[in-house]
Structure 1
């Protein structure tokens, strides 16, 4: 009887300990996390002293506006000139399987060095694929790849392999660990900025960051 009671008490203790571990374990402190950690897609000077990390959602209207109207100017003036490094990250919201799939498709395009082109194409076609799912969604993404020079069959094979999903979900977890609740969200050398802003505001942010980093920006 005592032996049975001992094992019963021990089992309960293990369950309680496991629950306490999950509840009380230290949570990641957003200030201690590097938003660029493990980034899969980045453009610009790898040695740049200013790094911008862009968390976007492919069905976010403000993200679309940033990608189509503001990002090209940032690219022209700061990325192509070697002043900054620009990192792209996915932030699908809970239940957005089509956004996860869009992130997978962009990752497939990256295998052909066409990530940025596909990233922009996804935003341009946002309203066309927003209501699609399953095979119809995959075929749309494959056709979109064909428009920028990737064979649709190749895109379909990549999507069906499922090999890109883990990377999208890793970005999502990092966004949540960083405390992000919406898109677009950005980090500029660790400083967080949320929401869409005009290019002039971006110029001020980037010029200030460059000055603080000791980089001349004539």
Structure 2
């Protein structure tokens, strides 16, 4: 886990304002991984209707709105298992199920450290229709920014490649409202739905923790879609 001290030491030539640091630190000056979430850790199924109710942040979703299956993933951008899922299973999920109208997919922020939180903020600041492309880029290049000695500089480079200026980058990370909403979204996942690790998936309300393989995905979706 990359803590707040390491993030600050790694800012290098990227000058983050005091407001940006305050925003990233959260209301109590702590990263999300330190909040000590207590939720329904043993719950295997949650109320699907409640799960899909609007939270602190508007959901970013892909697929057909009235698809027979909805998958909600709680992820952290610095989570290696999350990156593995998005490298191996995500392409299958998107091509076979999302693009064909069988699955509606929702990614929700559950950052486990300050760097993951910053990455999610950048995805939210990317602009209309650019959330998932930025998430894909961040997961695909995770080792190049999440675990470096200078994560801020690495994130700035990715932001610039997406068309963001350094000023926009700093403005994004200074958005205390957005930072607080990400905190609240993650806390809701923990308190209301028992999310205590990443990735955690909910498939029509059924809790499925851990990075799902393509084969496991097919097995979970077959009875819901009436396929073998």
* Contact 1:64 1:124 survives alignment (8 Å): yes
* Contact 1:117 1:148 survives alignment (8 Å): no
Supply the distance in 2 between the matched residues of 1:121 and 1:173 (Cα, whole angstroms): 26
Supply the distance in 1 between the matched residues of 2:145 and 2:218 (Cα, whole angstroms): 33
Greater share of residues in helix: 1
- Cα RMSD of the aligned pairs, angstroms, is 2.5
Supply the distance in 2 between the matched residues of 1:175 and 1:192 (Cα, whole angstroms): 12
The residue number in structure 1 matching 2:125 is 108
The residue number in structure 2 matching 1:193 is 208
2:68 to 49, 52, 57: 49
Q: 1:60 to 1:28 in 2, by over 3 A?
A: closer
Q: After TM superposition, what 4+ stretches of structure 1 lie above 3 angstroms from structure 2?
A: 27-33, 136-139, 148-153
Higher relative contact order (CA 8 A, sep 6+): 2
Q: Report the TM-score when normalising by structure 2.
A: 0.70
1:174 to 161, 173, 188: 188
- How far did residue 126 of structure 1 move? 1.9
Give CA deviations for 1:92-147 in whole Å, capped at 9, x if unaligned. 23xx11111111111112x23211111111122222322469xx644432321232
Supply the distance in 2 between the matched residues of 1:190 and 1:132 (Cα, whole angstroms): 36
* Contact 1:143 1:152 survives alignment (8 Å): no
Check if 1:81 corresponds to 2:96. no
Q: 1:40 to 1:138 in 2, by over 3 A?
A: farther
Aligned partner of residue 54 in structure 1, secondary structure: strand
- How far did residue 174 of structure 1 move? 1.8
Between 1:114-123 and 1:27-36, the stretch displaced more is 27-36
Q: Report the TM-score when normalising by structure 1.
A: 0.73
Supply the distance in 1 between the matched residues of 2:110 and 2:135 (Cα, whole angstroms): 13
* Contact 1:56 1:185 survives alignment (8 Å): yes
Q: 1:204 to 1:196 in 2, by over 3 A?
A: same
- How far did residue 58 of structure 1 move? 1.2
- Gap runs ≥5 in structure 2: 1-38
- How far did residue 173 of structure 1 move? 0.8
- Tell me how many residue pairs correspond in the alignment: 182
